[in-house]
């Protein structure tokens, strides 16, 4: 069965600093990968997704992610973090078994210091 690991539960960065959030997946075939962001008390918003093609994917709010098959990773990056980026970030992989199910990681809570 597929799985997603986000090894960092909490990350703190200074405003203006670069950011990288880690995501590792386990999946037998070519994965469909997603990054979502959740502000406190809100639903999840899609940042970006990878289905095929160029392994560097651009998303909203200045985020990008790179798919590395050899490392089973799909890390999220942003060159300069803004205070409004403070939120929880979830990585997800498309699951097998039909129904368009997704398997989510446990999330990384990002804190931005001013």
> What 3 state SS string does 31-88 have?
CCEEEEEECCCCCEEEEEEECCCCCEEECHHHCEEEEEHHHCEEEEEECCCCHHHCEE
* Residue 69 binds another protein (CB under 8 A): no
* Residue 107 binds another protein (CB under 8 A): yes
Count the residues of the shown chain that bind another protein, applying the rule CB under 8 A. 26
Q: Which of 76, 81, 94, 110 binds another protein (CB under 8 A)?
A: 94
Q: Which of 11, 13, 19, 102 binds another protein (CB under 8 A)?
A: 102
- Could you give the CA distance from residue 79 to residue 81 in angstroms, rounded to a whole number? 7
- Could you give the CA distance from residue 12 to residue 87 in angstroms, rounded to a whole number? 11
Q: Which of 1, 9, 28, 70 binds another protein (CB under 8 A)?
A: 9
Q: Which residues bind another protein (CB under 8 A)?
A: 9, 32, 34, 36, 41-46, 49, 51, 90, 94-102, 104-107
């Amino acid at each position: 069965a597929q799985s997603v690991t986000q090894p960092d539960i909490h990350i703190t960065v200074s405003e203006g600093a670069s950011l990288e959030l880690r995501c590792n997946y386990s999946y037998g075939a070519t994965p469909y990968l997603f990054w979502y962001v959740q502000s406190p008390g809100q639903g999840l918003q899609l940042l970006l997704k990878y289905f095929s093609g160029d392994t560097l994917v651009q998303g909203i709010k200045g985020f990008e992610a790179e798919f590395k098959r050899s490392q089973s990773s799909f890390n999220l990056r942003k060159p300069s973090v803004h205070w409004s980026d403070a939120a929880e970030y979830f990585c997800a992989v498309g699951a097998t078994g039909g129904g368009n199910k997704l398997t989510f990681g446990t999330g990384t809570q990002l804190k931005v210091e001013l």
